Amino acid sequence: MLIYRGAEAEIIMDTYLGRKVIKKKRIPKGYRIPELDKRLRLQRTKEEAKLMVEARRGGVPVPIIYDVNLKEFTIVMEYVDGERVKELIPKLTERGRKEICTMIGKNIARLHNANIVHGDLTTSNMIFKDEKVYFIDFGLGEFSFEIERRGVDLHLLMEAFSSAHPEYPDLFNHVMEGYRSTYKGNAREIEKKIEEIIKRGRYMK
């Protein structure tokens, strides 16, 4: 059953070996040269699967991958039957929001420690289940050592918070508390980069 069709992929609810799963299938783009289109879809499917495996190895809860079909450009993964953080945040107490945001910050730090940039950090791409925050949709992710990319990753989440949850201005501060406690590099360097990105955005307006 098709549950979502994005610009790059279809998200299908399916079963695999008796389990309920999510199948992510990269769809062809008519405006691309067919050979280039195949190459890009192949590359992105492989990259996303690799990112998820490395994220899990780094201690970040992500769906388990059951199968990768490079001929069909699909990834078959665990269906995480939890609640999207976007819907969960308004239901929590102030303390609950602080706890979940600290957890999110720790997970982002673990990604960055593994040189992974998620690329689309929003509360729609996080699912809370069994006292864990699962990160989903690594379709825009990449492996990167750059401070700039890590700053952009976190800045995107900051923007997502102010857009989706403007009534809770402290959420990102709690994320950064968790991030600082777990990041193995110089967290102040990342914070300075975020400040720089904010200033750039103001200048562009």
Q: Which CATH number does the domain housing residue 89 bear?
A: 1.10.510.10
Residue with tokens 């201005």: 169
Are 106 and 189 part of one and the same domain?
Answer: yes
**Most distant CA pair in the chain, distance:** 54
Are 74 and 90 part of one and the same domain?
Answer: no
152 Cβ neighbours under 8 A, 6+ residues apart: 117, 197
Are 138 and 172 part of one and the same domain?
Answer: yes
Beta pairing class for 74-78 and 65-69: antiparallel
Residue with tokens 């750059």: 146
* Dist. CA 167–CA 161, nearest whole Å: 9
Are 62 and 109 part of one and the same domain?
Answer: no
Are 24 and 59 part of one and the same domain?
Answer: yes
pTM of the model: 0.94
Q: Give the per-residue pLDDT at 202.
A: 66
Residues marked as catalytic: 120
Q: Give the per-residue pLDDT at 203.
A: 59
Strand partners, 4: 11
* Structural domain of 51: 2-78
Are 104 and 154 part of one and the same domain?
Answer: yes
Are 129 and 52 part of one and the same domain?
Answer: no
Residue that terminates a domain, selected from 78, 102, 136: 78
Coil/strand/helix, residue 118: coil
Are 103 and 34 part of one and the same domain?
Answer: no
Answer for the pair 54, 65: CB distance below 8 angstroms, yes or no: no
Are 25 and 109 part of one and the same domain?
Answer: no
* Dist. CA 103–CA 133, nearest whole Å: 7
Q: pLDDT in tens for each of the 205 residues of the chain? A: 988 888 889 999 999 999 999 999 999 987 888 899 999 999 999 999 999 999 999 999 999 999 999 999 999 999 999 999 999 999 999 999 999 999 999 999 999 999 999 999 999 999 999 999 999 999 999 999 999 999 999 999 999 999 999 999 999 999 999 999 999 999 999 999 999 999 987 655 5
Answer for the pair 13, 3: CB distance below 8 angstroms, yes or no: yes
In degrees and rounded to multiples of 5, residue 200 shows phi and psi of -60, -45
Q: How many domains does the chain have?
A: 2
